[in-house]
Amino acid sequence: MPVPFAVDAHLLWQVVWVSTVAGVGISALYSLVIVGGARASEARRAGRGRAAAAYGALAFLGLLLFVAGVVLGVQAMVSK
């Protein structure tokens, strides 16, 4: 006699993979902010203006994507 489960296994697997991807993705985006900011600071002190601007743009883009991901995650949690 099969035992009925109270939780759908497919939905449980979906939660596992989505949370893993979201956790890794958000962490990677924030690491871009840190690396871009640190490298921009180093490049600026070394007198490399273009490299500093490029790393600053990388940090800014990473920050924008990070904030968008956090907002999307909060919106998903609140709407469900």
SS3 sequence of 22-64: HHHHHHHHHHHHHHHHHHHHHHHHCCCHHHHHHHHHHHHHHHH
Q: Is residue 9 part of a domain?
A: no
Q: What is the extent of the structural domain holding 52?
A: 37-80
Q: Is residue 61 part of a domain?
A: yes
Higher pLDDT, 40 or 9: 40
Q: Is residue 70 part of a domain?
A: yes
Higher pLDDT, 9 or 72: 72
Q: Is residue 1 part of a domain?
A: no
CA atoms within 13 A on the CB side of 30: 9
Q: Which tens digit of pLDDT belongs to each residue from 17-67?
A: 999 999 999 999 999 999 999 999 999 999 999 999 999 999 999 999 999
Q: Is residue 6 part of a domain?
A: no
Supply the pTM of this predicted model: 0.80
Return the pLDDT at 34: 98
Q: How many domains does the chain have?
A: 1
pLDDT bin (cut points 50, 70, 90) of residue 1 is: low
